[in-house]
Amino acid sequence: MDVEDVVRDALKVMENAGVPEALRPAALPAIIELMARQAPGAASTGLGPYQPSAPGSQPVSGAADLLTRLGARLGVDGDLVEGVYTSDGTGVTISVHPGRLPKTRSTGTKNLALLVTAMRQATLDEEFTFVEEIRRFAQEYDRYDQANFASALGEMRGAFLVKGSGRQRALKLTRPGWRQAAELVKQLGGPEH
């Protein structure tokens, strides 16, 4: 079975399963992986969570796996991801130097919102990220402005879907939001100008 057949069959599976159009780009790699596991002659493995890997790479575990997964979801080179995030093998955190973030609290908060939601939604399979997680990083990076925190996040309507209100508000990256997060990681993870 060649690659075109696999992709064609995966698309049929999504169609038959009724996967919504908006979810198909995210579902396609997982379906292809499952189909590959079920192919004749494939090694029998227990089904675990889907973890994308770079083409031609060997499976990795721990810290490298989480960063690889984040990079794959963002579509960003691993070196750039490691310029922004670190992992201890059990989780990922933001580790970019504070001086690389914008000095203004509002813009810094917006950048951290993209970085935090991308990190958590790619590595923890979180559907929505509570704004309290963003607030925590904004405080840590001295970009928190209590009076304007909510309005700064509200200005990012195109980047996030929002559910809840107040401290129970949670954000989910949209497709444009993922693109913005990827561009930000490329910018912050690259060489300083």
Confidence of residue 126 (pLDDT cuts 50, 70, 90): very high
pLDDT 10s digits, 137-150: 999 999 999 999 99
Q: What is the pTM of this model?
A: 0.68
pLDDT 10s digits, 34-89: 666 565 544 433 333 333 433 333 334 466 689 999 999 999 999 999 999 999 88
Sign of the Cα torsion 145, 149, 155, 159 reads positive
Whether the predicted pLDDT of 121 surpasses 80: yes
Tell me whether strands 170-173 and 85-87 are parallel, antiparallel or unpaired. Answer: unpaired
In the chain, helix, strand, coil percent, each to 5? 55, 10, 35
Q: Write down the pLDDT at residue 80.
A: 95
Q: Which two tokens stand for residue 116?
A: 């935090």
Q: What is the mean pLDDT of residues 108-118?
A: 98
Whether the predicted pLDDT of 3 surpasses 70: no
Q: Write down the pLDDT at residue 40.
A: 52
